[in-house]
Amino acid sequence: MARHRDFKPILDAAAFWKERCLIGDKSVFTDRALWTHGNFEELHTRYVQQSRPEEATSFAEGIRILLSRASADAKCLWAEMAWVYYLIQKKTATTADTKRERIRGFWDSANGPFPDNHKLLSDALLDAGVTTGAGYGAHIEKEFSFFVVAMRDWLSRDPPWRESLIKRPWEFAEWLDPLQSGKNRMLRHALLYLLFPEQFEPNVSTRQKREEVVRLGGGSPPPDAIAVDRALLTLRQKLTKEAHDSDVYYWELPSAKSPPKPPVTPSDEPSSPDATSYGVEEAQRDLFLSPGRLGRLIESIRDRKNLILQGPPGTGKTFIARRIAWCLIGQKDSDPIEMVQFHQSYAYEDFVEGFRPTKDGGFELKRGIFRKFCERARERPDTPHVFIIDEINRGNLSRIFGELLMLIEADKRSADYAVSLTYSDERFHIPENVHILGMMNTADRSLALVDYALRRRFAFETLEPAYGSEYGSRAFRELLQERKAEDALADRIISRMAALNERIAKDSELGAGFQIGHSYFVPTDGDTPSDDWYRRIVETQVAPLLCEYWFDSQQDVDEEVTALTGNDES
């Protein structure tokens, strides 16, 4: 389970769901028998065999209409399906508060008390997860249809058959994939990881997995989803062994040309991976930033050692961060990169060092993730190392950094400024080749201002939606055209989103930090942009965000959604 340390709450919850619901036919939140074949038969009739009502302006509204005459158990079951669906999704895509409200919306329609304080609805659980990408929300109707079909078939089987199959990961995948085009569904990957984390990876995209197999192992991509999963497992096991059984994360696996090496000794020559050079020109191909702007970002972190990317949701902060890191390193190598996400419970003990309980009831001193990262950086002093912190302003920064708050300054990266650490009393300093790259969402109302002591130690760069600049809108239009979008659709997205963002920026209660980024409309997983694709994204992703922005004015939300989806007047 060490490889899944960041996802342990999710996997613990998934194990509970598996035993209670997939095997026991019970419920996640109650003592009732909800996960039954009869209830899924009802959902199949009322949802899978029906089309979205024309009057519905969103997925959630369509479901409420379709299930308006469903039994209370079927409605509660749908709410629990939504809980499973959101379990894998990182909070940067959908926050815990939003997830709870959406689950509550389905549950409340059954006229039953919603279990607000249930441990499986906690922030710690619902804010965990992985980056699922825009496609996970854009195709939500198909994902739920697949979910219903799969569970209807599963619960029609005898209990002994289910108990046997749930213990055999690959046979389970072979059963799942043919159902409702399961091999093409992102939820297929989510379910397999939740149920079998040792065999499957925390990624919901077949395309991305296939690309990683080629990157890591070379050669032609495997022919189908199961072959891709098997190939990734074989590669991970091989590279884990070469790394002396160190934790190996899917997104941190080095390429086939650079297998993990044992730590160097003082007499060894520091080794660097053999990889193709990577610079601004290579990074530029994936971004909507001008070469001059991207160069400024790289120079900012190179000079100051510390940089924070801030901006509205959907401006590609995480996407850009890794490319900045690769540019600093000079090659597309993930070994000198570490990524964490701050939250309210994150502490000095997680970040630097602290005492942790042992199996025999005692305590032992363990090094935190940043201290271990600095030790890795010392082994390769000529290679820049980049420590990426997502949601940097969600944590108690003074408590997390402790005495390191002084040491991160660019002019204090030497043994001359070493300090004694709180628990071990060992002398410690941050190596010269360590860079810290933070990210923060300017549209999160719950965040406090960044600590001034930290603010003056970082360079700050604000990212804007691509629609708002000449270079960005041109590059974004070219991307849509490359993905086979018609010119009229590309123009519609850019012009209408630019108009919406202008209104948001002028709203005295919101401002430019609440604009909506271009990432929502970047096609994923082989999608071909179309009018229906555009409408789905507006209704399932943009409209819910506007409901949060203008929570006290549904009229404003309706006006803007109509402006986005209405027919051209020409």
Cβ-based neighbour number of residue 251 at 10 Å: 15
Instruction: Say what angle helices 487-506 and 554-565 make with each other, to 10 degrees.
Output: 160
Question: What pLDDT score does 26 carry?
Answer: 94
Token look-up 């070493």 returns 418
CA distance 8 to 69: 38
Q: How many helices (H) and strands (E) in the chain?
A: 26, 9
Of 3 and 304, the structure prediction assigns the larger pLDDT to 304
Contact between residue 500 and residue 564 where contact means Cβ atoms under 8 Å apart = yes
Question: What pLDDT score does 275 carry?
Answer: 45
pLDDT-derived band of residue 188, with 50, 70 and 90 as boundaries? very high
Alpha-helical segments (H) within 352-469: 369-379, 397-401, 404-407, 452-455
CA distance 475 to 421: 48
Question: What pLDDT score does 244 carry?
Answer: 61
pLDDT-derived band of residue 73, with 50, 70 and 90 as boundaries? very high
What contacts 257, CB < 8 A, 6 or more positions away?
273, 274, 275
Question: What pLDDT score does 256 carry?
Answer: 46
Question: What pLDDT score does 267 carry?
Answer: 32
Strands 385-390, 337-341: pairing is parallel
Of 338 and 569, the structure prediction assigns the larger pLDDT to 338
Question: What pLDDT score does 273 carry?
Answer: 38
Tell if the pTM clears 0.85, that is, is over it. Answer: no
Exposure of 256 by Cβ count < 10 A (0-12 exposed, 13-18 middle, 19+ buried)? Answer: middle
CA distance 423 to 355: 8
Question: What pLDDT score does 217 carry?
Answer: 76
Fill in the amino acid letter for 299.
Answer: E
Question: What pLDDT score does 370 carry?
Answer: 96
pLDDT-derived band of residue 265, with 50, 70 and 90 as boundaries? very low
Q: Find the mean pLDDT for residues 494-501.
A: 94
Question: What pLDDT score does 249 carry?
Answer: 56
pLDDT over 90 at 200, yes or no: yes
Strands 337-341, 427-428: pairing is unpaired
Strands 337-341, 459-462: pairing is unpaired
What contacts 274, CB < 8 A, 6 or more positions away?
257, 258
pLDDT over 50 at 268, yes or no: no
Rg (CA), the chain: 24
pLDDT over 70 at 262, yes or no: no
Question: What pLDDT score does 118 carry?
Answer: 85
Domain ranges for the chain: 2-204, 280-462, 466-565
CATH number, domain 280-462: 3.40.50.300
Of 248 and 274, the structure prediction assigns the larger pLDDT to 248
Question: What pLDDT score does 3 carry?
Answer: 57
pLDDT-derived band of residue 372, with 50, 70 and 90 as boundaries? very high
Contact between residue 98 and residue 548 where contact means Cβ atoms under 8 Å apart = yes
Tell how far CA 166 is from the center of its chain.
27
- Residue 10 to residues 17, 121, 372, 438, 456, Cα–Cα distance (Å): 10, 11, 25, 24, 36
What contacts 287, CB < 8 A, 6 or more positions away?
294, 316, 319, 320, 323, 475
pLDDT-derived band of residue 53, with 50, 70 and 90 as boundaries? confident
Contact between residue 229 and residue 206 where contact means Cβ atoms under 8 Å apart = no
DSSP states of 144-199 as a string?
A: HHHHHHHHHHHTTS-HHHHHHHTT-HHHHHHHHTTGGGGGG-HHHHHHHHHH-TTT
Q: Tokens for 256?
A: 């086939």
Q: Tens digit of pLDDT for each residue in 426-456? A: 999 999 999 999 999 887 754 445 566 677 8
Q: Tens digit of pLDDT for each residue in 304-347? A: 899 999 999 899 999 999 999 998 888 888 889 999 999 889 99
Looking at every residue in the chain, the average pLDDT score rounds to 84
pLDDT over 60 at 513, yes or no: yes
CA distance 395 to 160: 47
pLDDT-derived band of residue 44, with 50, 70 and 90 as boundaries? very high
pLDDT-derived band of residue 133, with 50, 70 and 90 as boundaries? low
- Residue 389 to residues 92, 129, 339, 366, 393, Cα–Cα distance (Å): 13, 15, 6, 21, 9
CA distance 41 to 28: 19
To the nearest whole percent, how much of the chain has pLDDT over 90? Answer: 46
CA distance 405 to 108: 47
Q: Which of 98-102, 115-119, 311-315 has the highest mean pLDDT?
A: 311-315
Q: Tens digit of pLDDT for each residue in 209-229? A: 887 888 777 777 787 889 999
